Chain A
Amino acid sequence: MPQTIAEKIISNHAGKKVYAGELCIVPVDGCMATDTTAPLAIKAFKEMGGTELADKNKFHLIIDHAAPAPNERIANLHNLMRSFAHEYGCSLYDIGSGICHQVMVDNHKVKPGDIFMGADSHTPTYGALNAFACGVGSTDLAAVMLTGKIWLKVPQTIKVVLHGKKLQPGVSGKDLVLEVVKQLTISGATYQAVEYHGEAAAQLSLSQRMVLCNMVAEMGAKTGIVSPKGLQLPYDFEPIEADDDANYSRVIEIDAAAIQPKIAIPNSPDDVHNVEDYVGTKISYAFIGTCTNGRLDDLQTAAAILKGKHIAPGVRMVIAPASKQVLIDALKDGTIQTLIEAGATIINSGCGPCVGSHEGVPGDGEVVISAANRNFKGRMGNPNASIYLANPATVAISALHGFINTPKSQIL
């Protein structure tokens, strides 16, 4: 019987052909936890009787959600992670390394065909690499640390076909995925995999593919995977492609070439509209960063818009490069200098203001334009602020003008 990509990857690990709906126990190729999820995972691991990791080379700890520590309570949790890594021999990516997902990809800790479990909901990001990656909670992760395995139900798959050769100016992967979130809604892919195909997907860079998979979390999906067609990696790999007549629960066809810049308005990532309809909305805070849009190409896009100019009076702009590697690359090519000269504040590589832990909480009544993935009430640490989500070009041009504007107003 023909199979989807998820069915193939899980079958390869289960040692038999499996299909949507079947339960199986599979070995896990890699797993990670962050400073939000690791302390509980370490506690559960020890309570389970864990004395050693199933495979210390496959478990990674990343300090990214509140790094460097903003208070003594979190400082102690960071030290708990450092001690655990030292004692159990797993890798630890300390403050300044970057956001867990970018760190895993930068350091090749996840590869095509892998099954990866991350104690963070945006773990499906690695589907850009043609891998099966799921977000789990701390206790599930603890069980993976202990047994090296996870039980799962093979998901049904929604096929998303992105047609078209060339995207409109100012449009990126973010706008495509916002359109998919809009169509599927915040719960439309619950328990399912989202598989991306089509000409437009095939020509996207790894960074842009990561955006497509990152935000399947905002559809409730178990995982997101991009067809390996056109995928370029610095090492050889065996691509895993769906069979032509694989069984899908739903097929969504999108004319990617016709998509306009998109914006998700407060307070849900699936409340998606064209940016054009919100032009003129005053903003006081612009944020570029996160596992969704904090990569080199995102920063370069913002720099190209802001070069030689200055953000509007009364606006502050915060930029968090997704990883140390992104920061180094953006320093080398002058991107960081351009952004600083334009009035942006560069903060440490990490999750930053996205989760409301530190480094840029909005004030009461403030309107934020952000390149992140979630705009739930209170998401950035203040329930009395409003968050609009858009691509980095829209965020940059809005910072420049002091109100939401479309990147189409400045064709690059």
Chain B
Amino acid sequence: MPIAHTYGNNIDTDRIIPGKYTKTLDIASLAAHVMEDLDPDFHKKFQVGDMIVAGDNFGCGSSREQAPVALKAAGVSVVIARFFARIFFRNAINIGLPVLEIPDHDIETGDLLAVDLASGIVENKTKNKTYNATKMPKVMLAIMQEGGLVNYLQKHKDYILE
């Protein structure tokens, strides 16, 4: 079962993927440098499918979509935060990286988590607790369920609000 790797508040996109690595379409090279300045041991600890769990305002700063792209390419299955910076939140969903806002979580590194994206219910097997993610607008949920905005627009050709 995937485990949580926790980070604090206000993790900016410069620390998720430094600006010097962003100018590329080589997704694998982004994954290689993800979280480099924040947690140099990230790749040693992280197993594909694991989750990133943060506090307030995850993904603040630069609008670089390379941040969620790098996390997804590194094998992050979902990012949970108390709340996200707005551009990162949209970007993650648009590129098919699931994100959930859980304002009152007490998840710690190493906790085993089971996530149901459709309902937004997260089970913490380690702590034997359940959390409910903040409901997102229908259009966002639909984009997330399609695996991103590219798939969504290929299918629907336009936005559908309701």
Contacts and interface: CB of A to CB of B under 8 A. Distances in A.
Interface string B15-34: 10011101111100000000
11 contacts: A37-B63, A40-B65, A43-B25, A65-B23, A121-B61, A137-B65, A139-B94, A187-B56, A376-B61, A378-B15, A381-B19
Nearest to A221: B86
B89 to A, nearest CB: 9
Q: Is the interface of B mostly helix, strand, loop or mixed?
A: loop
B23 A36 contact: yes
A361 B18 CA distance: 13
Contacts of A40: 25, 65-66, 69
B10 interface: yes
A48 B150 contact: yes
A23 B135 CA distance: 14
Interface in B44-78: 56-57, 60-66, 69
Contact of B161 (A23, A37, A74, A381): A23
Contacts of B69: 40
Contacts of B60: 186-187, 220
Given A121-B87, A140-B94, A191-B86, A48 B20 contact: no
A186 B158 CA distance: 34
B: contact size bracket: 35 or more
B19 A137 contact: no
A184 B66 CA distance: 27
B91 interface: yes
Contact of B153 (A43, A48, A119): A48
B42 interface: no
Interface in B62-118: 62-66, 69, 83, 85-87, 90-91, 94-95
Contacts of B85: 187, 190, 220
A137 B23 contact: no
Nearest to A377: B37
Most chain B CB neighbours (cut-off 10 Å) among A77, A138, A153: A138
Contacts of A73: 23-24, 26
Nearest to A358: B20
Contacts of B38: 377
Given A74-B23, A357-B19, A383-B37, 14 more contacts: A40-B65, A40-B66, A135-B87, A137-B65, A139-B65, A142-B149, A187-B56, A190-B57, A190-B83, A220-B57, A374-B12, A377-B14, A377-B38, A381-B18
Given A121-B87, A374-B61, A23 B139 contact: yes
A13 B15 CA distance: 37
A105 interface: no
B9 to A, nearest CB: 8
B87 A137 contact: yes
Interface string A127-164: 00000000111111011001101010100000000000
Interface in A12-66: 23-25, 35-37, 39-40, 43-44, 47-49, 65-66
Nearest to B56: A187
Contact of A37 (B12, B64, B90): B64
A136 B150 CA distance: 15
Nearest to B29: A73
Contact of A136 (B37, B90, B95): B90
B65 A151 contact: no
Contacts of A138: 65, 91
A48 B159 CA distance: 13
A36 B64 contact: yes
Interface of B: 9-10, 12, 14-15, 18-20, 22-26, 37-38, 56-57, 60-66, 69, 83, 85-87, 90-91, 94-95, 137, 139, 148-150, 153-154, 158-159, 161
A239 B13 CA distance: 35
Contacts of B25: 39-40, 43, 77
Interface string A205-248: 00000000000010010100000000000000000000000000
Given A191-B86, A357-B20, A376-B12, A139 B150 contact: yes
Contacts of A25: 159, 161
Most buried by B among A23, A25, A39, A376: A376
B87 to A, nearest CB: 6
A139 B23 contact: no
Contacts of B66: 36, 40
Given A120-B63, A220-B60, A137 B90 contact: yes
B93 to A, nearest CB: 9
Interface string A66-102: 1000000110010000000000000000000000000
A24 B149 contact: no
A48 B86 contact: no
A65 B24 CA distance: 13
Contacts of B137: 23, 153
Contacts of B139: 23, 151
Contacts of A77: 23-25
A366 to B, nearest CB: 16
- The residue in B20, B25, B63, B91 that gathers the most chain A C-beta atoms within 10 A of its C-beta is B63
B58 to A, nearest CB: 10
| Most interface-central of B38, B85, B153 (chain A CB within 10 A) | B153
